[in-house]
Structure 1
């Protein structure tokens, strides 16, 4: 019972019910229209048949009058028409007195004297019945709904003929046309029922096949939601369901990749935090146990570890804000060369201590840029920090800047270091990514500087890229748009 209720609430049942309702409404509309059209056509056909019969009887009367110059003896001819058509026929003279009456009763005697004295008949004066000649008898005649008048060549009335269908005893009745309409309605009904059964069966079959694929996707989504991120759906064809399956697999790949990155990020953060915390713990326990005595040198070492720990926490927090789009940027129009020169001056001492040269090649015609000065300064500092760290003694680090043909301002930081391998350059902006993962903490940072630089540049609507040669030398270059009307992403 529960399974049946579940089926009643399913999409499969709703599709069948929906199709059935559409089919019923469509068949009902078609049936009503066909019934109406058929009824009108049958009525028109009956009228045409009656018109043709009336014109035939008219021709008989005309021919008889033309041959005999009167209507004497017209009764037997009309009697044949009665038995042939099952009609009542009445012939009256110009004054309305009956000449002959053909009906279920006996033939009424004619008036030979009146007919013999009638003027000669000219058939050209009596054309076939037209629409105006066929009218309902309402002027005192006893029966008939088709009437016309015989006229001589002087267009004087000689006689009138009134006729119409009747139910004459002894005459085999014609089947009513309404029977044809009833048969048509019955045929439409059974055809509609048969079409409905076939249509519902086809919809049920086709929708079931389509819903099976949806069921596979639903099961895959439940499995994926349960934490099995490696689960995928099989290929389900080139149609829309197949595209949906491919989209699901693509989404699953992205989620699995993001989950892997999340786990790696947690592991990297834990690793990066462990080193300074372990150092701080070691110094504090040693001083507590009296192994070493508190001194300015010891306290300075502890202080450096705290600063390093704080810097790492701030970097992780900044990346989190950038990912969530919650970092507020204070945009202002500023000179790019001033920001670059400030950053270069800050690294001069470190460059001299490694006996390397730090030079600039900055175009003097760089237009003002709409930017967050502090954040762009942080981008340049991160790139210079990375370049100075990996450039050997006696090397050269150069900061270049200028304007592209597109109107964007570019900034490039070039070094003469060892270079970055090709298999690493594509992921150099990933978090906690290092060109040499095995290098000691004293020679490398946490691996967040380039990731922060990339996110900050993109927050300004720009792009950043890295080019390197394994034989030596690396170039980090980013661009910032100068269009004042362009709205940054954040």
Structure 2
């Protein structure tokens, strides 16, 4: 199948064309049938009226003379008007009138007559024989079982006339002398009117179909133009050009699709930028400790430094930092891939938070930072992974101490939420705070408020990202609030019932 036959525009056009064609055929068939019925009924009415008029004209002519004189003229008048062949037979079977006896006509197309009684004053005086055939409208009447041919009737009429002239005893009805030949103006026939109407209906239907197909083609092309634009833009995105956008107006399906495409392309562009930044950040974070380790080892190898306890301790701390960074990256990858398996158990969250926070008291004392830990008694048992929650609290407390100046204060508080369905863990510090511009990005990977990457002011920038992912895995949420220059508070909600699904 060719590609154009598989296109949406062709299928829509074909579908609309079939529907349009079916509708036109249905309308045409209905109009044709209705017209035929109406024409038949009208033809019947005309035939009845003509027959009655014929009866009236012939009856008046006969009554005027009380014989067949003058009837021939009446027949010729009616014949001119209706284009009928009319023959009158009296009661004895004698032809006393023939509308076509004085006209030069082409041979008759049919020798079949319709019989109709001729009644004058309530008494039947004879019969009409009205010829039928192409070009004639036959008035109603029973078909005669006696079919007479014109030649036989004329022969009988001639014989009777010769006998009467020979006897010459009494006067017999004579057929009037021929009138001058006259051109007959025939009435338009209803069959011709029906044929003309059907031809007009056919051509009108064909014209309407052609116009409809053209309009459908134009409409579908206009309607599918945004789809073609989207297709072209999607192809460019597939080739790696994530900057592609399309014009989209909300309020229609295609407009909403265009908006969704723009959002998707924007998300992909942001994701690609994030990926590149992530790769650069990982390379930087790994390069720094590796460079330090390499430098110390080269110095020892060249004899610049001695492999004493201080040098070995420095190298060891760099390897620990490198190992922690790799561990954080691995943990983050597992959480984001949904592959981290929690070891859920029922635990006292107050004791868990308190133990994790107290582990940082020596560091706080060294910098004269007041570490305050407040827990609520009677907390419900929570279903959680103790190791991961301890990691969450450790990252929060470590982050708070790191960003709190000497003689500052860090407060850790744990208690039930107002609705008593979750535990709330908050860690506040009196550090420098976070600016409004940086606040929405504190949970981004490798994002650091301090752009200098000074090891004194922070780590790799993965701590809060890991906190957010681990809390979400437990079915909770984490919020941050900060006043620039006054301090920051991070609040964690952990449901007592545990996560809805076991990761």
Q: Does 1:38 align with 2:32?
A: no
- Displacement after TM superposition at 1:237 (Å): 9.0
Give distance in 2, aligned partners of 1:427 and 1:411.
21
Which residue of 427, 439, 456 corresponds with 2:441?
427
**Secondary structure in 2 matching 1:223:** helix
Give the conservation status (yes or no) of the 8 Å contact 1:87–1:103: no
- Displacement after TM superposition at 1:29 (Å): 2.9
User: What do residues 85-132 of structure 1 show as CA deviations (whole Å, max 9, x unaligned)?
Assistant: 567999999xx998999877999999999959xxxxxxxxxxxxxxxx
Which residue of 396, 404, 412 corresponds with 1:398?
412
**Secondary structure in 1 matching 2:414:** strand
Give distance in 1, aligned partners of 2:346 and 2:34.
79
- The change in CA–CA distance for 1:444 and 1:15 in structure 2 (over 3 A counts) is same
Q: Does 1:359 align with 2:372?
A: yes
Structure-1 residue corresponding to 2:274: 261
TM-score by length of 2: 0.71
**Secondary structure in 1 matching 2:460:** coil
- The change in CA–CA distance for 1:453 and 1:98 in structure 2 (over 3 A counts) is farther
Give distance in 1, aligned partners of 2:85 and 2:252.
71
- The change in CA–CA distance for 1:101 and 1:224 in structure 2 (over 3 A counts) is farther
Please tell me the root mean square deviation across aligned C-alpha atoms, in Å.
4.5
Give distance in 2, aligned partners of 1:359 and 1:86.
123
Structure-2 residue corresponding to 1:124: none
Give distance in 2, aligned partners of 1:305 and 1:48.
115
**Secondary structure in 2 matching 1:442:** coil
Which residue of 396, 399, 419 corresponds with 1:383?
396
Structure-2 residue corresponding to 1:122: none
**Secondary structure in 2 matching 1:422:** coil
Structure-2 residue corresponding to 1:440: 454
Q: Does 1:350 align with 2:363?
A: yes
Structure number, greater radius of gyration: 2
Give the conservation status (yes or no) of the 8 Å contact 1:235–1:242: yes
Give distance in 2, aligned partners of 1:376 and 1:91.
122
1:473-488 to structure 2, matched below 5 A, reads: 473-482=487-496, 487-488=500-501
1:175-324 to structure 2, matched below 5 A, reads: 175-234=188-247, 240-324=253-337
Give distance in 2, aligned partners of 1:453 and 1:440.
22
User: What do residues 324-348 of structure 1 show as CA deviations (whole Å, max 9, x unaligned)?
Assistant: 2332334444443233223223333
Give distance in 2, aligned partners of 1:334 and 1:135.
108
Structure-1 residue corresponding to 2:484: 470
**Secondary structure in 2 matching 1:294:** coil
- Displacement after TM superposition at 1:467 (Å): 0.6
Give the conservation status (yes or no) of the 8 Å contact 2:335–2:469: yes
- Displacement after TM superposition at 1:58 (Å): 8.0
Q: Does 1:29 align with 2:49?
A: no
**Secondary structure in 2 matching 1:375:** helix
Corresponding pairs, count: 440
Give the conservation status (yes or no) of the 8 Å contact 1:74–1:100: no
**Secondary structure in 2 matching 1:230:** coil
TM-score by length of 1: 0.73
- Displacement after TM superposition at 1:38 (Å): 2.1
Give distance in 1, aligned partners of 2:367 and 2:390.
23
- The change in CA–CA distance for 1:216 and 1:108 in structure 2 (over 3 A counts) is closer
Which residue of 466, 482, 492 corresponds with 1:452?
466
- Displacement after TM superposition at 1:388 (Å): 1.9
